[in-house]
């Protein structure tokens, strides 16, 4: 896993304590987070600062939005293939019905859907819900 400073540098962003902290939280959690969850993790930073950081990270290809039925936009770390204004996030997202965590399944691509003539695909989102491997393990 790359350090938060390396992630920021690779995307031509100045390193600040807030930016480093946001990258670190996403790396440590390993699943998509909404701004309210992020605010709970990073109480030293106000809502506006975190919002601006999330927007900057999306613009630079560090984060991509994840939409699920909760109604709150969540964000997840992009793969190393994303860059400014060129997200490569056409993968499936999985939301666990038990722990409520939404994860990227980078290895599972969103299937191609034939659109009627005149329509142009700009993005596709596929959310699958079920039970994740962590929640399926029997408790001892």
pLDDT tens-place string over residues 13-62? 999 999 999 999 999 999 999 999 999 999 999 999 999 999 999 999 89
For residues 9-41, one letter each, b for 16 or more C-beta atoms within 10 angstroms of the residue's C-beta and e for the rest, the string is eebebeeeebbebbbbebeebebbbbbebbeeb
How many percent of the chain have pLDDT more than 90? 61
What DSSP line would sit under 75-110, residue for residue?
EEEPPTT-BTTB----EEEEEETTT--EEEEEEEEP
**pLDDT value, residue 26:** 96
**pLDDT value, residue 49:** 96
CA–CA distance, 21 with 38 (Å, rounded to integer): 10
CA–CA distance, 82 with 62 (Å, rounded to integer): 7
User: Tokens for 19?
Assistant: 């930016």
> Which residues are paired to 92 by β-bridges?
105, 126
């Amino acid at each position: 896993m790359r350090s938060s400073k390396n992630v920021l540098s690779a995307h031509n962003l100045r390193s600040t304590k807030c930016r480093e902290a946001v990258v670190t939280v996403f790396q440590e959690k390993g699943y998509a987070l909404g701004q309210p969850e992020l605010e709970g993790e990073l109480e030293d930073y106000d809502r506006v600062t975190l919002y601006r950081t999330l927007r900057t990270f999306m613009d630079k290809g560090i984060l991509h939005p994840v939409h699920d039925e909760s109604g709150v936009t969540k964000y997840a770390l992009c793969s190393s293939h994303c860059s400014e204004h060129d997200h490569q996030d056409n993968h499936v997202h999985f939301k666990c019905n038990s722990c409520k965590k939404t994860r990227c399944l980078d290895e599972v691509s969103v299937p191609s859907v034939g659109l009627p003539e005149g329509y142009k695909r700009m993005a596709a989102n596929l959310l699958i819900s079920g039970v994740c491997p962590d929640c399926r393990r029997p408790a001892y």
